[in-house]
């Protein structure tokens, strides 16, 4: 390498844009990909392109998937009467890793942040209400982040779901307030699910 110009320089730039990757990590990764037969770089490029081209929101729950309806929504063993409302697809992944939830999800696509211009119309509240009103949903668990904006988002969800016939609960405050849900470990998530209470 030596010169940060040209195609290697461009790869370093792109790698350094990734979260948690600084210039030094980018260089280590680039040299790893440059060593040997390059098939690793090609496979990663193909995987990225496939994701960029084919991943989109699930028609039902809005988590990201390369199918029309995601694996979870199409799994007949999941309890379709139990809906866990989360902010992002990453939260779905966290719950799935914890392994303690066997219902379905609904991904809002973020949290309400009026000061940043994120109003209810930017999130998937309308499809959520439609989904619950279609019937068959016994309980909606609001699993937004334990933060001011997350709480506000849960409050709004509880409001639009009132009168829908489903019980609305929220996660127990076993989670440390102020931290992002992404940082919660499996045990925290499991505790929070088990301790959920009426909203």
Binding interface with its own copies (CB under 8 A) = 1-8, 10-11, 13-15, 17-21, 25, 27-35, 38, 40-52, 54-55, 63-67, 70-72, 88-90, 92-93, 96, 105, 182
Q: How far is the CB of 198 from its own copies (least distance, A)?
A: 26
For the CB of residue 183, give the shortest distance to its own copies in the complex, in Å.
Answer: 10
Cβ nearer to its own copies, comparing 22 with 165: 22
Three-state DSSP class for 63?
coil
For residues 112 and 93, the answer to whether their CB atoms sit within 8 Å is: no
* Helices 148-161 + 125-133 axis angle, to 10: 40
- CA angle 58–114–88, rounded 5-degree value: 25
Q: Provide the 3-class DSSP secondary structure of residue 69.
A: coil
C-beta separation of 1 from 30 below 8 A = yes
Task: Please report how close the Cβ of residue 173 comes to its own copies at its closest, in angstroms.
Answer: 24
**Would you say 66 or 79 has its CB closer to its own copies?**
66
Find tokens 């260089």 and name the residue.
Answer: 27
Query: In whole angstroms, how close is the CB of 178 to its own copies at the nearest point?
Result: 16
Helix (H) or strand (E) segment spanning residue 156: helix 148-161
Least Å from the CB of residue 63 to its own copies: 5
d(CA 190, CA 55): 28
Computed on alpha carbons and rounded to an integer, the radius of gyration of the chain in Å comes to 20
């Amino acid at each position: 390498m030596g010169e940060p110009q040209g195609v290697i320089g461009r790869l370093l730039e792109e790698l350094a844009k990734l979260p948690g990757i600084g210039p030094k990590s980018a260089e280590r990764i680039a040299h790893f990909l440059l060593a040997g037969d390059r098939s690793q770089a090609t496979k990663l490029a193909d995987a990225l392109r496939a994701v960029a081209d084919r991943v989109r929101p699930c028609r039902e729950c809005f988590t990201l998937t390369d199918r029309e309806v995601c694996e979870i929504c199409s799994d007949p063993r999941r309890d379709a009467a139990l809906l866990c409302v989360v902010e992002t697809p990453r939260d779905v992944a966290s719950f799935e890793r914890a392994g303690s939830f066997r219902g379905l999800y609904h991904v809002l696509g973020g949290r309400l942040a009026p000061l940043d211009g994120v109003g209810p119309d930017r999130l998937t509240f309308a499809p959520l209400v439609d989904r619950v009103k279609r019937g068959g949903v016994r309980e909606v668990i609001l699993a937004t982040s334990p933060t001011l904006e997350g709480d506000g988002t849960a409050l709004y969800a509880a409001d639009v779901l009132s009168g829908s016939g489903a019980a609305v609960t929220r996660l127990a405050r076993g989670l440390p307030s102020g931290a992002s849900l992404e940082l919660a470990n499996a045990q925290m998530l499991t505790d929070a699910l088990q301790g959920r209470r009426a909203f």
